[in-house]
Amino acid sequence: MATPEVPFDYNTQRPRLIIPEYGRHVQRLVEHCMDIEDREARTRSAHAIIQVIGRLNPHLRGSESMDRTLWDHLYIMSEFKLDVDGPFPKPTAEELDTKPEKVNYPKQEIRFGHYGKLVERTIDACAALPEGPEKEAATVQVANLMKRQFLAWNRDSVGDGVILKDLVELSKGRLRLKPEQQLANTDALLNTQRQGPRNEVDLRKQRYGDHGGGGGGNKKNRHRNRNKKKRY
% of the chain beyond a pLDDT of 90: 31
What are the residues whose beta carbons fall under 8 Å from the beta carbon of 97, sequence distance 6 or more?
Answer: none
60 Cβ contact partners less than 8 Å away, ≥ 6 residues apart: 54, 66, 69, 70
Domain range spanning residue 153? 116-195
Looking at the structure, do residues 79 and 134 belong to the same domain, yes or no? no
Q: State which amino acid sits at residue 157.
A: S
The answer to whether the CB of 151 falls within 8 A of the CB of 183 is no
pLDDT tens-place values along the chain, 232 residues long: 566 776 777 777 888 889 999 999 999 999 999 999 999 999 999 999 999 999 988 888 888 889 999 999 999 999 999 999 999 999 888 887 878 888 887 777 878 888 888 899 999 999 999 998 899 999 999 998 898 888 888 767 788 888 889 999 989 889 888 878 888 887 788 777 777 655 545 555 555 555 544 445 555 555 555 555 555 4
Residue 133 lies inside a defined structural domain of this protein: yes
- Residue 147 and residue 182 in contact, taking contact as beta carbons nearer than 8 Å: no
pLDDT, tens digit (0-9, with 9 covering 90-100), for 166-217:
999 989 889 888 878 888 887 788 777 777 655 545 555 555 555 544 445 5
Task: Look up residue 129 and give its amino acid.
Answer: L
Write out the DSSP string of 86-134.
-SSPPP-HHHHHPPPPPPPPP----S-TTTHHHHHHHHHHHHTSPSSHH
The number of domains in the chain is 2
For residue 186, being part of any structural domain is answered with: yes
Residue 98 carries which DSSP code?
A: P
* Measured distance CA(156)–CA(112) in Å, rounded: 18
The verdict on 92 and 150 lying in the same domain is no
30 Cβ partners below 8 Å, 6+ apart?
A: 49, 74, 77, 78, 82
> Are both 120 and 160 inside the same structural domain?
yes
Distance of CA 201 to the CA centre of its chain: 25
Cα–Cα distance, 200 to 157 (Å, whole number): 31
- For the stretch 205-228, pLDDT in tens is 555 555 544 445 555 555 555 555
Domain C-terminal end among 97, 128, 154: 97
Contact 146, 177 (CB under 8 A): no
Q: Are residues 42 and 77 in the same domain?
A: yes
Residues 187 and 129 in one domain: yes
Residue 174 shares a structural domain with residue 131:
yes
In a domain, 227, yes or no: no
What pLDDT is recorded for position 206? 55
